[in-house]
């Protein structure tokens, strides 16, 4: 089946809903942990389920290079290959082409993108059609259109040309899409230009996708510019389809996105921070390598219900990081992902109760002080 979205409740622009997929239903707004190489770094599928994870994200570009989409298909698809029975979204590979290409050199043409592998420098060529073919074989629940993630800053002329090409790529990709059991999302671009965001949103919607993402944010711009990019696009997206803000994971950005009508978020941030001893807390981020935690025998957060906070102290976690034990990163990844997912649960409840803006203000007042 294609995914289905049910809108349950609104509180101003904030939305609470349910996305139905071939691998279960998930409530929105929601945060998706990132499992780039068919693995959310250092965590098992069982641990992801325990923290309340719904949809997780895997990366087309990386799985194309290793182990190859044909291997995943022979394994029975991505769900069986990685032993995750919940919903999976695959991105198009576009962002990685632009961010990881060897020496950052790439040749963007109307047909696609020529670039070199970040692994071995091999010459590669990725097109909208090939991105769709790879994702069809991976057999995720949700696939993403191939687009250019426009850098920031970029001139109006560059942004306009790129946005128009992304629309042409979106149509080509949709025409090449062959998996009837898989859903396909379109991606809105347009950079920091309000008229191009509107144009991209309206034209992408005309193509008729199962959901819509806002791309090209969180690429170096300041917060207010990012929020404006969302404002300039989201009001032109359908009410009855999921709305996905790509690559955003800071708590304040998630809450601001929800305020603007966003349903889905993803980011590598919680696990990346965890590997460097940084933890989310209700009072902001902390670094557990700090000497003041050497004799702190309390959990990271007294309000957190994750496995790590139920069993381990800051002192022990600090010891693991100082001793360079991998368990530290594992335990902190569990906490950081659970922190964001729990925040989403609280946001959904606040929307239901009609007090989301009050919840957001209360959370941010404590988090930023």
pLDDT score of 296 more than 80: yes
pLDDT score of 105 more than 90: no
Q: Answer yes or no: do 249 and 278 share one domain.
A: no
pLDDT score of 7 more than 70: yes
Q: Answer yes or no: do 174 and 249 share one domain.
A: yes
Domain C-terminal end among 267, 295, 323: 267
pLDDT at 94: 83
In the chain, the N- to C-terminal Cα span, in Å, equals 46
pLDDT score of 232 more than 60: yes
> Which token pair is 40?
């959310």
Contact 303, 271 (CB under 8 A): no
Looking at the chain, the whole-number percentage of residues with pLDDT higher than 70 is: 98
pLDDT score of 369 more than 80: no
Q: Which residues are catalytic?
A: 91, 266
Lowest mean pLDDT among 47-51, 55-59, 90-94, 156-160: 90-94
CA distances from 312 to 234, 328, 363 (A): 41, 10, 25
pLDDT at 344: 98
94 vs 197, higher pLDDT: 197
pLDDT confidence bin for 95, thresholds 50/70/90: confident
pLDDT at 97: 74
Domain C-terminal end among 267, 287, 303: 267
Domain residues for 334? 268-369
Please name the residue that has the structure tokens 């396909």: 184
355 CB contacts (<8 Å, ≥6 apart)?
A: 11
Q: Answer yes or no: do 355 and 256 share one domain.
A: no
Q: Answer yes or no: do 203 and 280 share one domain.
A: no
Q: Answer yes or no: do 86 and 207 share one domain.
A: yes
- Average pLDDT over the chain, rounded to an integer: 96
pLDDT at 117: 87
Q: What tens digit of pLDDT does each residue of 317-338 get?
A: 999 999 999 999 999 999 999 9
Q: Answer yes or no: do 141 and 21 share one domain.
A: yes
Please name the residue that has the structure tokens 């996905």: 244
Domain C-terminal end among 267, 286, 314: 267
Domains: count for the chain: 2
Contact 16, 261 (CB under 8 A): no
Q: Answer yes or no: do 168 and 250 share one domain.
A: yes
Arithmetic mean of pLDDT, 248-273: 98
Q: Answer yes or no: do 287 and 201 share one domain.
A: no
pLDDT score of 102 more than 70: no
pLDDT at 101: 60
Give the number of other Cβ atoms within 10 Å of residue 59's Cβ.
21
pLDDT confidence bin for 305, thresholds 50/70/90: very high
Angle (deg, nearest 10), helices 327-353 and 356-367: 150
pLDDT at 99: 77
Q: Answer yes or no: do 197 and 292 share one domain.
A: no
pLDDT at 118: 87
Contact 17, 6 (CB under 8 A): yes
100 vs 245, higher pLDDT: 245
Q: Answer yes or no: do 241 and 132 share one domain.
A: yes
Q: Answer yes or no: do 79 and 209 share one domain.
A: yes
Q: Answer yes or no: do 280 and 331 share one domain.
A: yes
Query: pTM of the entire structure?
Result: 0.97
CA distances from 287 to 82, 88, 361, 364 (A): 31, 31, 25, 19
What CATH number is attached to the domain comprising 22?
3.20.20.105
């Amino acid at each position: 089946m294609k995914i289905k979205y049910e809108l349950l409740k609104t509180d101003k622009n904030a939305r609470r809903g349910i996305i139905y997929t071939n691998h279960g239903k998930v409530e929105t707004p929601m945060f998706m942990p990132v499992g780039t190489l068919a693995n959310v770094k250092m965590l098992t599928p069982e641990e992801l389920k325990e923290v309340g994870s719904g949809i997780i994200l895997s990366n087309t570009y990386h799985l194309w290079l290793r182990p190859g989409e044909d291997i995943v298909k022979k394994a029975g698809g991505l769900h069986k290959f990685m032993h995750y029975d919940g919903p999976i979204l695959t991105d198009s590979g576009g962002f990685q082409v632009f961010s990881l290409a060897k020496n950052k050199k790439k040749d963007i043409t109307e047909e696609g993108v020529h670039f070199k592998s970040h692994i071995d420098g091999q010459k590669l060529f990725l097109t909208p059609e090939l991105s769709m073919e790879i994702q069809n074989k991976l057999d995720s629940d949700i696939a993403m259109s191939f687009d250019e993630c426009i850098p920031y800053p970029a001139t109006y002329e560059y942004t306009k040309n790129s946005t128009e090409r992304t629309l042409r790529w979106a149509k080509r990709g949709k025409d090449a899409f062959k998996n009837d059991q898989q859903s396909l999302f379109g991606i809105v671009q347009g950079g920091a230009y309000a008229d191009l965001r509107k144009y991209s949103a309206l034209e992408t919607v005309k193509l008729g996708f199962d959901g819509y993402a806002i791309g090209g944010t969180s690429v170096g711009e300041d917060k207010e510019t990012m929020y404006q990019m969302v404002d300039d696009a989201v009001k032109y997206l359908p009410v009855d389809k999921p709305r996905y803000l790509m690559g955003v994971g800071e708590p304040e950005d998630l809450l601001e996105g929800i305020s603007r009508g966003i349903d889905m978020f993803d980011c590598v941030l919680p696990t990346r921070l965890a590997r460097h001893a940084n933890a989310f807390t209700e009072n902001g981020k902390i670094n557990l390598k700090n000497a003041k935690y050497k004799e702190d025998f309390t959990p990271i957060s007294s309000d957190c219900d994750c496995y790590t906070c139920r069993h381990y102290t800051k002192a022990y976690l600090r010891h693991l990081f100082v001793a360079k034990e991998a368990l530290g990163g594992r335990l902190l990844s569990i906490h950081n992902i659970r922190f964001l997912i729990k925040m989403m649960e609280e946001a959904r409840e606040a929307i239901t109760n009609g007090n989301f803006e009050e919840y957001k203000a209360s959370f941010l007042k404590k988090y930023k002080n």
